[in-house]
Structure 1
Amino acid sequence: MEIAETTIEVRYAETDQMGVVYHNNYLVWMEIGRTRLIEKLGFRYFDMEEAGYLSPVLDVHIHYGKPLRYGQKAVVKTWIKGYDGLRVTYGYEICYEGTNEVAITGETEHVCVTKDDFRPVSLRRTFPNWHKAYLKALE
């Protein structure tokens, strides 16, 4: 299984009044991790969009564990958890840098759609190279 790791330094603006990372920022970090994984596989979301397609989020699941705080560093681990040629599910684990203690776990589900009318398309047919790379990344 192919895993991308991205280090994030917790910025003050990402924290709430309790001094912990505001829950919504984990979604942003998951997007950063997902983008890094796709780049590691040799592709870019930008190229997909330029070709007239998007990959919207269909579903999100996050389990919050021990909160991260300002000044700490997190490692976002991202992998392909499931893929059927149409939908892809990415898995995430956000850990404390250096200890691998888990702060959150989560997953997002996506589908490829046309930019104009949001009709789902088969990644297998529309982007066969992505399809092959996703299958290989699952191994």
Structure 2
Amino acid sequence: MTTIVKTARVAATPAALDLIARLRGEHGAVLFHQSGGCCDGSAPMCYPQGEFLVGDGDVLLGEIGGAPFYIGAAQFDYWKHTQLVIDVVPGQGGMFSLDNGTGLRFLTRSRLFSDAELAHLASATPAADSPA
């Protein structure tokens, strides 16, 4: 019997999906970028689509709640062995992120992929694992 492994590089908790739906209702289409920046730490930042320019060095990890999720290539290389799980906790969102002012903030949790998941990812479409 063959086990089929399907692995997402990024996932979201039900609480995060609820906040994404709320933000999409207020702002329309949104996107995420995993910040590695100095100002907001390493928070996942949520922006209206069209107001954040995705760079040549950004990697599309996948989609959460109908929103594309990007990460810088250097961070992707560092975190490529982990699944990013986007959650929300009480607090203040990043200064430029749409979660600011909601009383909640997005938070990135992570877990290491299993050997089977890594093998599946290695056999996946190369474009999904390389910088945009």
What is the TM-score when the length of structure 1 is the normalising length? 0.27
What is the TM-score when the length of structure 2 is the normalising length? 0.28
